Structure 1
């Protein structure tokens, strides 16, 4: 897939004070979303928005387009 994460999202969330336990416990992100991130599968726009809110960033800070990755 030509769109991929350009940062380690889970590490960035952890650095911002959000462990995977806290994300699940406070219902900020579900386990299926966390698994998608672990597997480098893009998440829904709603979940991407939530991640941007938690990290105080823009989607372009998280995702990048790599034309060669789609070949």
Structure 2
């Protein structure tokens, strides 16, 4: 089963969405939007960009951060 996007109200006419995996794990929570339409547009942006996004490792696990390295290999210049 695919993940589920849920739009919720944060109070004060602010909205956000969260992406929940099929096992119930919350994968992502969005920033606040002023309209439901804005939250829906945010969901569409995630759907369009997530599969093609680069993974940038900024952790200190390898003794420093090299923004030109990703989990998929070097980023082309």
Q: Please say whether Structure 1 and Structure 2 have the same fold, judged by a TM-score greater than 0.5.
A: no
Q: Pick the structure with more strand per residue.
A: 2
Taking structure 1 as the reference length, the TM-score comes to 0.28
- Pick 1 or 2: higher relative contact order, CA cutoff 8 A, min separation 6: 1
Taking structure 2 as the reference length, the TM-score comes to 0.27
